[in-house]
Amino acid sequence: MITIKLICHFSYRWSVQILLTLLVIGTSANAKARSVAQMEIPPIEIQAAPSCDIQAPDGGEYAYAQLHASQFHLQQTTSLPPMTRRWAVVCDAPTTLILQVRDIQSNSASAGDSTQFGLGMVNGRGYLGQYQITLSNASIDGKSAKVYETSDASVPGVPAAKWDVSTEKYYGWTESNGEASNGKLFFADITVSPLLNSLQFTNGPLVNGAELNGQAEMIFSFGI
């Protein structure tokens, strides 16, 4: 078996609010010196970040059978069957969730299309193919939801039921109006759809077959 590996981890977005109150004690008009200003600094309130756990089926691996030379054609690309896994993020307190994806094999991806992820090199300088990652069927705390796409992680974007993931965008869970929604249990289907290149891009025939070498970094960020 050969695999496309989606490597997942968390990053943290802290929200800390510091309140500072300046209280000036007034003085009489005849005073020769002004009273010293008194500053009241209340305790800094820091809300503890929730603890979350990523539940990625099969450790984020999408396993395919060994490739064979017969699957690569002179001019025609070859699609492999899409594979869908149901991912979950479980938190111990309500939070918002943002996903960003990076292509570890970007040097083997198609130029000019940020939704195409590389499947690695072959025959020295050849390109094996590419794949797409699709988000769909989202939910928050058991309720149907959508995923929004945005260029700025701090600003929610356009919601949709399905997105082909771009390495240049961020994705967040929303229940309505595209606003980031709080929840403790987030679900989404993550589908991988591989496409093998023709022999025009593989730098010659694959006499001994090939192995998929797709790797993407799934970065989940939660806020408070």
CATH number of the domain bearing residue 132: 2.60.40
At residue 31 the predicted structure's pLDDT band, cuts being 50, 70 and 90, is very low
Residue 41 lies in a domain: no
The model's pTM: 0.82
Residue 38 lies in a domain: no
Residue 142 lies in a domain: yes
User: Averaged over 93-113, what is the pLDDT?
Assistant: 92
**63 vs 110, higher pLDDT:** 63
Residue 30 lies in a domain: no
At residue 194 the predicted structure's pLDDT band, cuts being 50, 70 and 90, is very high
Residue 118 sits at φ, ψ, to 5 deg, of: -75, 145
Which of helix, strand or coil describes residue 5? Answer: strand
Q: Centre a 10 Å sphere on the Cβ of residue 205 and count the other Cβ atoms it contains.
A: 12
Point out the least confidently predicted range of 12-21, 63-72, 182-191: 12-21
Residue 121 lies in a domain: yes
Which of helix, strand or coil describes residue 119? Answer: coil
Residue 184 lies in a domain: yes
pLDDT at 42: 55
Residue 19 lies in a domain: no
> Smallest Cα–Cα separation from 223: which of 47, 17, 49, 44?
49
**Domain containing 69: what range?**
2-14+50-223
What are the E-state strand segments in 13-128?
A: 16-17, 21-23, 38-40, 45-46, 52-55, 61-64, 78-79, 83-103, 117-118, 121-122, 126-127
Residue-wise pLDDT tens digits, 109-134? 988 899 999 999 998 889 999 999 99
* Residues facing 140 on adjacent strands: 143, 186
User: Averaged over 160-177, what is the pLDDT?
Assistant: 94
At residue 50 the predicted structure's pLDDT band, cuts being 50, 70 and 90, is confident
How would you class 173 by CB atoms within 10 Å of its CB: exposed for 0-12, middle for 13-18, buried for 19 or more? Answer: buried
Give the chain's domain count. Answer: 1
Residue 39 sits at φ, ψ, to 5 deg, of: -110, 130
State how far the alpha carbon of 174 is from the alpha carbons of 13, 45, 85, 156, 210, in Å.
18, 27, 20, 9, 40
The average confidence (pLDDT) of the chain is 83
pLDDT at 178: 75
Residue 21 lies in a domain: no
How would you class 199 by CB atoms within 10 Å of its CB: exposed for 0-12, middle for 13-18, buried for 19 or more? Answer: middle
Residue 60 sits at φ, ψ, to 5 deg, of: 85, 10
At residue 67 the predicted structure's pLDDT band, cuts being 50, 70 and 90, is confident
Predicted confidence (pLDDT) at residue 20 exceeds the cutoff of 80: no
Residue 186 sits at φ, ψ, to 5 deg, of: -115, 130
At residue 179 the predicted structure's pLDDT band, cuts being 50, 70 and 90, is confident
**121 vs 42, higher pLDDT:** 121
State how far the alpha carbon of 70 is from the alpha carbons of 63, 77, 174, 210, in Å.
19, 12, 44, 11
